Amino acid sequence: MMFARLDQLMQAPVYQLPQAEKEALLLPRLNELTHWHDQHCEPFHHLMQATQAQLHATDYGDLPYVAVRLFKHRLLSSVPNDAIFKTLTSSGTTGAVSRIVLDRDSAALQSKVLVKIMQEYIGKQRLPMLLVEQPALIQNRSGFSARGAGALGLSFLGRDHHYALDEQMQPNWPVIEAFCEKYADQPVFLFGFTFMVWQCLLEPLKKRGIKLPLSKGVLFHSGGWKKLTHLAVSASDFNQRCADVLGIQQVHNFYGMVEQTGAICVTCEHGHLHTPAMADVLIRDPKTLAVLPHKQPGLIQVLSALPQSYPGHSLLTEDLGTCLGDDDCPCGRKGRYFVVHGRLPKAEVRGCSDTFR
């Protein structure tokens, strides 16, 4: 596999490449990956032929893409079976399960990039970590659920791991108390899935009228807002509650899917999701699939320099979002930034996935 372009992207600062410079590095790498998967993944090759796709794109809009739901129907792999190091799964609400295969190189690359991105927010030192999870989820490594893999991936960034929940998904008060006694007003790292942080930690804390002394903490959460939208909890409600009951001011949401682990997008202090150097997004009209200009909502297409063991470098998601701009977020980070609105109702995605029916 050709690594030169990947090395350049890996060495680039995560958020300081202006969009034009980033595209000049990322597009050739994405073309490389299209060729690689065309040669090594038969279903992908068939898709390229059936859609008469250009294997060499001259801009993002021309890049061939795979509908993300295809991973629910087919095992898409670009490595021999004996090179598969682990398989990630994510079960959607419909019951269909996506399967993503990783070889050792891809798995290592993904954790390396995840670390690089996270260090932008928590620094290089390993911080004491409170996971809003049950210990069993992490310790049971046989079945790699997306949730387990997500938490496990991030747990490498912390030390002295404490698990805030017990087996019944209730707050484990003695553990939380011990963590706070040990690390009150020191830099700490908290991670959990958005809904679980709200339901299993922020709500119980409020009910008990407790405020934790985690003023120098950083909280990362991911997993979508759908359940919280049903409860009428907005991002600013969530952040406010974190300040009220945890004492935490620095709260980051991130967008990333099991089909494209590693190159996550993280919200800045203005609530905008930022693409790192090794990934990007564009927005397509849900009906025509034409690329939309900034500020118009549509389907999110995610691009990533990382997926080598499966054709996930250019994916059309079923998520709705809007690109807000390039290089000009008030937080100072360069590159493209966007917001996610939620899932396309009934997943009315036209296109590639029908090729395999």
Taking CB under 5 A as the rule, which mask of x and - marks residues 290-329 in contact with Zn ion?
---------------------------------------x
- Cα 168 to chain centroid distance, Å, stands at 27
Query: Cβ of residue 325: shortest distance to Zn ion, in angstroms?
Result: 10
Query: Cβ of residue 268: shortest distance to Zn ion, in angstroms?
Result: 3
Q: Buried (b) or exposed (e) across 287-307, using 16+ Cβ within 10 A?
A: eebebbeeeebbbbbbbbbbb
Q: Which of 331, 342, 350, 354 binds Zn ion (CB under 5 A)?
A: 331
Ramachandran quadrant class, 249 (left: phi over 0; alpha: psi -120 to 50; beta: rest): alpha
Alpha carbon distance 298, 316 (integer Å): 11
Tokens describing residue 180: 């706070």
CA dist list (Å): 321 to 270, 337, 340, 353 = 16, 11, 4, 21
Q: Is 330 exposed, middle or buried (0-12, 13-18, 19+ CB in 10 A)?
A: exposed
Q: 216 and 250 in contact (C-beta within 8 Å)?
A: no
Q: Applying CB under 5 A, does 83 fall inside the site for Zn ion?
A: no
Residue number, 324 or 344, with CB nearest to Zn ion = 324
Alpha carbon distance 228, 233 (integer Å): 5
Residue number, 169 or 331, with CB nearest to Zn ion = 331
Query: Cβ of residue 262: shortest distance to Zn ion, in angstroms?
Result: 21
Taking CB under 5 A as the rule, which mask of x and - marks residues 257-296 in contact with Zn ion?
-----------x-x-x------------------------
DSSP annotation of 81 reads G
Query: Cβ of residue 252: shortest distance to Zn ion, in angstroms?
Result: 11
Query: Cβ of residue 341: shortest distance to Zn ion, in angstroms?
Result: 18
Query: Cβ of residue 15: shortest distance to Zn ion, in angstroms?
Result: 9
Residue number, 19 or 314, with CB nearest to Zn ion = 19
Give the residue carrying structure tokens 């996550």: 264
Q: Applying CB under 5 A, does 176 fall inside the site for Zn ion?
A: no
Query: Cβ of residue 120: shortest distance to Zn ion, in angstroms?
Result: 12
Taking CB under 5 A as the rule, which mask of x and - marks residues 135-164 in contact with Zn ion?
------------------------------
Q: Applying CB under 5 A, does 336 fall inside the site for Zn ion?
A: no
Q: Which positions touch Zn ion (CB under 5 A)? A: 268, 270, 272, 329, 331
